[in-house]
Amino acid sequence: MENNKKKISVAFFQRKPRSVGNYSVEYIFQDVRRRLSDKINATIVESKYESSGLFKRLFNCIQAWNAQSQVNHITGDVNYLGLFLNKHKTIQTILDCVHLNSNTGIRYKILKTFWLTIPEKRSRFITAISESTKTEILKHHACNPDKIKVIPVAISPLFQPVAKEFNKIKPVILQVGTAPNKNIPLLIDAIQGLGCHLHIIGKDNQEYRDMLEKTGTTYTYEWGLSDEDIRKRYAEADIISLVSTYEGFGMPILEGQATGRPVISSNILSMPEVAGNAAILVDPYNVSSIRSAIETLIQDDEFRNDLVRKGIENIKRFDPDRIAEQYFQLYKEIAS
């Protein structure tokens, strides 16, 4: 009991899971809670309704107000929940600004008000998952930059180096995610005629299938895999591709590096920051740039192996214990 009294009480506010399309933010903070279990008493507050419509969102805000704790942590994608919370005890995690970047006019103003302006005013700290995200926040909304703390996403210990001989005859390129920002059409154009096999994990897309059939590229399409299945797909791949036009972070970069695979990624936004010097960076809008990078990885054994070694070193920056401790320091500052 004595040890329990010393713990900080933290309420983690999470969105209601969607029937399809959920991402990894819940897993991020599940791991943080596990690593801080001897330092915090955690409560998970899951919104009753999905984030749609005025009245459902208002109910979610009232639910959050009723569940406040010593520290309130809104973990992303439901930023508006901070509307009624004690601003001196609240942390907002902002994953990206993709919706603000893709809207204009009155819709932009509404989104900015409830996903950025009010959340910033109603919080003690904001955490951003990359310096790129912090820059975007400040581009859309002027506030004290010191209020925004960059805490990256930790690499899951599930991903460990797995030895594999590189298949130079028919390398398997792994693509995780099929949203428009993943830039799959340009990737398909880039690998045409290279003899690669494209393995896509994500929601099925007939347009992509048609392109692959037309270009004669062999492929595999999978959806709804378990974490262990996804780990195996990384281990079975020869190259990991993330040539996105937008990422708030870029987790496949780290997952590929941790598995011991060479990574191709984009030279924009958060991706160079995450990749360090351990990925071959390309212009995501240029097919020739993507194609040239893939050819280099296939042909240049020394360069490819060096990239893999650098990747194993790079993931040390994203140690889960170190990142959990960064969150704990914020909890401690608020609690004190």
Q: What is the pLDDT of residues 247-282, one digit of tens each?
A: 989 999 999 999 999 999 999 999 999 999 999 999
The rounded percent of the chain whose pLDDT value lies above 90 is: 82
| φ, ψ dihedrals at 200, nearest 5° | -110, 130
CATH superfamily of 2-154+319-335: Glycogen Phosphorylase B; (3.40.50.2000)
Q: Distance between CA 73 and CA 28 in Å, rounded?
A: 13
24 or 267, which is more confident?
Answer: 267
**What is the predicted pLDDT for the residue at 4?**
53
Provide the CATH topology of domain 172-318.
Rossmann fold (3.40.50)
pLDDT exceeds 70 at position 221: yes
- Is the pLDDT at 160 greater than 90, yes or no? yes
Which residue did the predictor score with more confidence, 76 or 131?
131
The predicted model scores a pTM of 0.86
For 83-110, what is the mean pLDDT?
91
CA 115 to chain centre: 18
**pLDDT category of residue 97 using cuts at 50, 70 and 90:** confident
pLDDT band per the 50, 70, 90 thresholds, residue 18: low
For residue 169, what pLDDT band results from cuts at 50, 70 and 90? very high
Residue 332 pLDDT > 80: yes
Give pLDDT tens digits for 56-76.
999 999 999 999 999 999 998
| Dihedrals phi, psi of 222, to nearest 5 degrees | -135, 155
**Predicted confidence band at 21 (pLDDT cuts at 50, 70, 90)?**
very low
pLDDT for the residue 187: 97
Position 24 scores a pLDDT of 63
Provide the percentage of residues in the chain whose pLDDT is more than 70.
96
Q: What pLDDT band is residue 320 in, cutting at 50, 70 and 90?
A: very high
* Residues composing the chain: 336
Q: What residues are paired with 42 via a beta bridge?
A: 10
Q: DSSP alpha helices (H): ranges in 20-97?
A: 25-35, 54-66
Residue with tokens 């320091």: 329
Band of pLDDT at residue 5, cut at 50, 70 and 90? low
- Res. 206: pLDDT tops 70: yes
| Domains 2-154+319-335 and 172-318 are alike in CATH topology | yes
Instruction: For residues 22 and 30, give the distance between their C-alpha atoms in angstroms, rounded to a whole number.
Output: 15
Other Cβ atoms closer than 10 A to 326: 15
Enumerate the domain spans of the chain.
2-154+319-335, 172-318
Instruction: Give the mean pLDDT of the chain.
Output: 92
**Can you tell me the mean pLDDT for 35-55?**
92
Task: Calculate mean pLDDT across residues 314-330.
Answer: 95
Q: With 70 as the cut, is the pLDDT of residue 99 above it?
A: yes
Is the pLDDT reported for residue 22 higher than 90?
no
Indicate if the pLDDT at residue 3 is higher than 80.
no
Reply yes or no on whether the pLDDT at 23 is more than 50: no
Q: Which two tokens stand for residue 233?
A: 């797909």
The residues, any chain, with a CB within 8 Å of residue 319's CB and separated by 6 or more, are 154, 155
